Amino acid sequence: MQYLAEVKKQTRGLMGGNKIELKLLACQRNDQTWTPVPREELIPCENVTQFGEGALLIVTLGANQQVQGAPELAGARLVRVLQTYSRLLEKSKEQEEEIEQWKQSLTYQSQELARREMEMETRIEQLEDKEKEYDRLQQQRRQLEESWQNLRASQQSLEQKQNALQESLFLEGEQVAKMQDLLEQLSSSFTGGNFFREQLRQIKEAVHTQQHNFNYHWQQLEQSKAVVKSSVQEVNHQGEELQRRKEELQAEQASLEEAVRELQVKRHELENKQEASRLLSLHLETIDEVRANLTGTGLVADFGDDEHKVDIVALENMPLGELQQRVDELKKETANLLNFVNLQEEELTLQAESIKELEEKLNQLGEFERLSMETELADAQESMKMLDETLIGQRRNLRRQQKMLGQNLRILKRRQGTLEADNDPEIELEPILRRLAVQENKTKQERQKLDSEIQAIQNTIHKMQEIIEQTKPKRRAKEQELQELEQRFEKVKIRLTEVMSQVSFSEKTLQPLQDNLDEIRSSLETIENDPNSAQNANEAIAEIQSFIRRFLDKLEMASF
């Protein structure tokens, strides 16, 4: 059995030389773990004269407590142990620095998240306002449709009036023709007297009737012009309203695009926080791995493990034979458990090699062959993970079993009076375990906080997605409705232009007819004022006939 020992030299006397002994400090057990020797034990050794006082050596002692083989300096072995310990500390420090960086990043992201949430709440309020605006636009759309119907009714009314004008012009043509016949009779029988006056009276009545008809048309024309003017104002107003709705729809589209960008930012933020959570989980796994390396291999006792402590008082009072039998049973159980754990370790190694081979094959396969191989690789990784998790508990059970065996064996040897070559106190790494436990609790709290933030972001993303999905069909409906309104508005504008043209045409038709009628009336007044002048009367009648011919020509043109 190997021991860590310190060289002790004592002077025997003036002529006796030096007495060299080895002070046993720690003992290596069968499971390759080291435990300190509880009390000072000195072993004489004369073949280490080349080592100085206080040198640390690795020596092998036989059953008779005699040094076997050549001792070796313990420096290299201690350096390896310290290197392992340093690597653990360095790895833990690197992970702490990485976690601190992530904490700073998460702090910034939390602030950014709060700002984004405020912006999102503002955006949601804006969307709610848009909903209200949409209802208002629906009301305006109905008003526009009512205005369009009113304009359509006005158009129909103007068409009816135009038709009536055409009919009245036709009747007026008959009246003018009648006037022309009367004038011809007047011209052929212009001899003065009552017959002349009767013919002149009938012509004046025809002119008066014609003027009465014209007055009616002028009144209808003024009403039509007023309706057209009102319709133009209404169409202009609706055009402005339509343009405003276009701008509002464009603003809604911009808001929707901004909401989509905000959603992408949230998703990116969620990915970052999920990655941070994954790193924290990885850090926790590393802590478990370090603890397993420290506890699962038997280097130290379980931190805070009080459940499997041995009742030393009961063992001290137990009959020696019964204690010996108990120790033998524990040795047998420990050997069986050790054999089982070794087999599981070999199986874990084989599975790791198999996974490595599958990964190498997977990199060489094409797209179609990768599917089945990926499934096989995932199954192998899952199997290895389950075996590794099982081994963690098995290693811990083995260490506890070895600890119990060591305690029972120590008490047995003490009661038998033999040298205690093994002892339960182990290498003192409990401060590291405590530090790992503190770091683990701190990391778990950070991960829990991060998971809460992730959940909040996921809820926000879900709410944003619902709002966006609800907004899209409404926006599309608004676009469709706006297109329909634009088409209707264009039709109304075209029809209004036609109506305005008809009104203008009616005005241009009535005015020349009215002028001719005024001239006919003036000529009749001339004949009436000087009925005895045949020459003047004939000239006036000829002039009236000329006016009537022009009047008939214009009536004929207006009928087309």
7, 100, 403, 535 from 13: Cα distances, Å: 19, 64, 45, 188
What pLDDT, on a 0 to 100 scale, did the predictor assign at position 271?
85
298: left (phi over 0), alpha (psi -120 to 50) or beta: left
What pLDDT, on a 0 to 100 scale, did the predictor assign at position 481?
78
Two tokens, residue 456: 């909040």
CA distance 178 to 545: 12
Contacting residues for 68 by C-beta, under 8 A, at least 6 apart: 60, 61, 62
What pLDDT, on a 0 to 100 scale, did the predictor assign at position 530?
59
| 103 touches 446 (CB < 8 A) | yes
Q: What are phi and psi of 484, to 5 degrees?
A: -65, -40
Contacting residues for 286 by C-beta, under 8 A, at least 6 apart: 91, 95
| 43 touches 65 (CB < 8 A) | yes
In the DSSP assignment, the letter for residue 426 is -
Over its length of 560 residues, how does the chain's per-residue pLDDT go in tens digits?
A: 788 888 887 655 444 556 788 888 888 776 566 788 877 788 888 777 777 778 888 888 877 777 877 788 887 777 776 777 677 778 777 877 877 787 787 777 777 777 877 887 787 777 777 777 777 777 777 776 776 676 667 667 666 665 655 555 444 555 555 555 655 555 554 444 565 566 667 766 777 777 777 787 777 777 777 777 777 777 777 778 778 877 887 887 888 788 888 888 888 888 888 888 888 888 788 777 777 666 544 444 444 444 456 677 788 888 888 888 988 998 998 898 888 888 888 888 888 888 888 888 877 776 556 666 777 888 888 888 888 877 777 877 888 888 888 888 888 888 887 744 444 444 555 677 777 788 888 888 888 888 888 898 889 888 888 888 887 787 788 778 777 777 777 777 777 777 777 777 777 777 777 777 777 777 667 766 655 544 455 555 565 556 555 555 555 554 44
DSSP 331-355: HHHHHHHHHHHHHHHHHHHHHHHHH
What pLDDT, on a 0 to 100 scale, did the predictor assign at position 297?
42
Q: What is the residue type of 270?
A: L
Two tokens, residue 393: 């508990």
Render the burial of 470-493: b for 16+ CB within 10 Å, e for the rest.
Answer: ebeeebeebeebbeebeebbeebb
The residues with which 8 forms a beta bridge, in sequence order, are 21
CA distance 87 to 78: 14
The SS3 call for residue 56 is strand
| 113 touches 461 (CB < 8 A) | no
What pLDDT, on a 0 to 100 scale, did the predictor assign at position 560?
43
